[in-house]
């Protein structure tokens, strides 16, 4: 297999991983209450109250989020629509990368776009999370998704630069 063909294959594999991450992230944004119910049961917290644990602990944070989502869905179910649109945004961004998947050299600017957006996740999570009262360790987890995505996009950018016909 010639070097360019091998490089394109690698770019496509990494691009698919990036797209799968976006789609899976989007899918998990939809059934939030169901997921929180399952997590509460799995951790033995289904009958606990948010006041039972300090909010800065993992258990306390889970209880606060679980309670908040349940209350919001019961009183204001239309607010869940924001999560639906969050999911749609992930699906839309993943769809854009179909062009980079098909012709990586021609659409190499999409890897620049992906890298930039992934890097912007970090200040966004840190700043918005601070003002929303999100614990630092949760914001760090959110930043890790941006870092992982940035690594995948940087690898694709580098490999596209190696193509002889790029």
If you average pLDDT over residues 102-113, what whole number do you get? 96
What is the structure's pLDDT at 107? 96
Average pLDDT for the chain:
93
What is the structure's pLDDT at 60? 87
pTM confidence score: 0.89
If you average pLDDT over residues 109-134, what whole number do you get? 97
- What confidence tens digit (pLDDT) does each residue in 27-78 have? 999 999 999 999 999 988 888 887 777 777 888 889 899 999 999 999 999 9
What string of DSSP letters covers 6-40? HHHHHHHHHHHHHHHHHHHHHHHTSSHHHHHHHHH
What is the structure's pLDDT at 166? 53
What string of DSSP letters covers 49-113? -GGGS-TTSHHHHHHHHHHHHHHHHHH-GGGGHHHHHHHHHHHHHHHHHHHHHH-TTTTTHHHHH
What is the structure's pLDDT at 2? 66
């Amino acid at each position: 297999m010639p070097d360019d063909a091998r490089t394109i294959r690698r770019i496509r594999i990494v691009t698919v991983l990036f797209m799968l991450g976006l789609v899976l992230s989007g899918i998990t944004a939809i059934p939030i209450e169901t997921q929180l119910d399952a997590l509460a049961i799995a951790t033995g917290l289904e009958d606990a109250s948010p006041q039972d644990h300090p909010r800065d602990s993992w258990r306390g944070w889970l209880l606060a989020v679980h309670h908040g989502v349940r209350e919001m869905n019961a009183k204001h179910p239309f607010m869940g629509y924001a999560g639906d649109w969050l999911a749609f945004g992930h699906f839309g961004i993943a769809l854009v990368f179909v062009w980079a998947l098909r012709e990586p050299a021609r659409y190499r600017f999409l890897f620049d776009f992906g890298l930039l957006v992934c890097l912007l996740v970090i200040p966004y999570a840190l700043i918005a999370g601070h003002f929303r009262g999100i614990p630092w360790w949760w914001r760090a987890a959110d930043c890790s998704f941006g870092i992982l995505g940035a690594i995948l996009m940087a690898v694709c950018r580098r490999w596209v630069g190696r193509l002889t016909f790029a």
